[in-house]
Amino acid sequence: MDIVLSLNAVLDRINYSTFEGELGVRSITGVASLSDAQRGDATFITSAKYLEDLKKTEASLVVLGKDLEIKPKPGQLFLRVENPSIEIAKLCELISQKMWDKPKPGIHRLANIDPAAEIHPSASINAFVTIAEGARVGPGCVIGSGCYIGPACEVGTDCQLAANVSLERDTVLGNRVRIHAGTVIGSDGFGYEFEGGRHRKVPQVGSVRVGDDVEIGANTTVDRGRFGPTRIGEGSKIDNLVQIGHNVVVGKHCILCAQVGIAGSTILGDYVVMGGRAGASGHVEIGSGAQLAGQCVAYSDLEGGAKYGGAPAIPLVSYQRITVVTRRLPELFKRLTQLEKHLLHD
Q: Which residues are catalytic?
A: 246
Under a CB-based contact definition with an 8 Å cutoff, are residues 256 and 238 in contact? yes
Sheet with strand 148-149: strands edge to edge: 112-113, 130-131, 148-149, 166-167, 184-187, 221-223, 243-244, 261-262, 279-280, 297-298
Cα 144 to Cα 193: distance, rounded to the nearest angstrom: 38
